[in-house]
Amino acid sequence: MPELPEVEVVRRSIDVPLRGARVLALRLGKPLRWPLGCAPADLAGRVGGPGQRRGKYLWMPLAADGREPGGLLWHLGMSGSLALLGAGPAPPGPHDHLDLVTDRGTLRLHDPRRFGAVVFSRGLDVAPAAALLARLGPEPFDPALTPLALHAALRRRRAAVKSVLLAGDVVVGAGNIYACEALFAAGIHPALRADRISRPRAARLLAALRATLGRALELGGSTLRDFSDAHGAAGAYQAQAAVYGRAGQPCLRCGAAVRRIVQGQRSTFFCPACQKR
DNA sequence: CGGGACGCCTGTGAGC
DNA sequence: TGCTCACAGGCGTCCC
């Protein structure tokens, strides 16, 4: 579920409420992808700082006077979502695997598939956080990621451009929905080898990726099943998807039937007429 | 080293 | 109705 826009939506929805919030307790449910990496009690008394996002990871600094610095690195995996609950929250359900109880409310992680994770790290640039972020490419909105820089990075990759976007080492943020949508917007066939993309087309791809992610962010992300921000607000981008999940339906631009293929074990949707090799 | 498959989990919807 | 199968927003790890 959560690709860059959804994670950023979540970050914004918890940043103000949790900045300055004091941790009272942390309750764990079923195991997530990785262990927390510290004793839950070690977090009590720490105070939330400004949240950051890197790729699809969220970083929540938790400071404490006289103690080592640290914070929590969150990843929502495929089915994770966060909810900020008021005083006296409902008891956790079977898929609520972590409650961060603070004096400003309880931040609850809901994640049926448990591909998500919450990991304590003393900082972003030290283990374990650093290892998890090590292979991430540049942020899509980083001004240093110029059309030329993207083109140069794509030229080093022989895999299909769709797979390269998903891999996240050339540029982070696009998951299956937005990779498909950005390629449609750029008029690029998803199976085209990345190293065969011309400079002008790389420029179009970068612009399309930014426009797609930016639009999704404005609309609160995509809610396919049950994604919402920490206040329960659903996203609206999914209704605007031009190709994702629309196999067999007419392309919104040319009317040709949208196709579904499989690349790297993932579904890819595209318009065979609008997207050229 | 790059690229692709696998595995981690649970839920849902389609088809028989 | 009930079963089985394919598939679902991600990504670290393993093998070729």
Which A residues 17-36 have CB within 7 Å of strand B? Answer: 30-31, 33
Spatial distance from the CA of A135 to the C1' of B6 (Å): 20
Q: Within a 10 A sphere around the Cβ of A155, how many other Cβ atoms? A: 14
- Say whether A203 sits in a helix, a strand or coil: helix
- Predicted local distance difference test score (pLDDT) of residue A239: 82
pLDDT digits (tens, 9 = 90+) for A136-188: 999 999 999 999 999 999 999 999 999 999 999 999 999 999 999 999 999 99
What does the pLDDT average to over A96-112?
A: 96
Please determine, for residue A1, whether its predicted confidence score (pLDDT) is greater than 70.
no
CA distance A4 to A58: 10
pLDDT digits (tens, 9 = 90+) for A200-221: 999 999 999 999 999 999 998 8
| Angle, CA A97 vertex, CA A95 and CA A98 arms, to 5° | 145
Beta bridge partners of A54: A57
Asked if A276 contacts A186 with a C-beta cutoff of 8 angstroms, the reply is: no
Model-level pTM?
0.95
Q: Which nucleotide is nearest to A112 (CA to C1')?
A: B10
Quote the percentage of chain A above a pLDDT of 70.
100
- Say whether A171 sits in a helix, a strand or coil: coil
Spatial distance from the CA of A263 to the C1' of C5 (Å): 20
CA distance A127 to A114: 22
Please determine, for residue A4, whether its predicted confidence score (pLDDT) is greater than 80.
yes
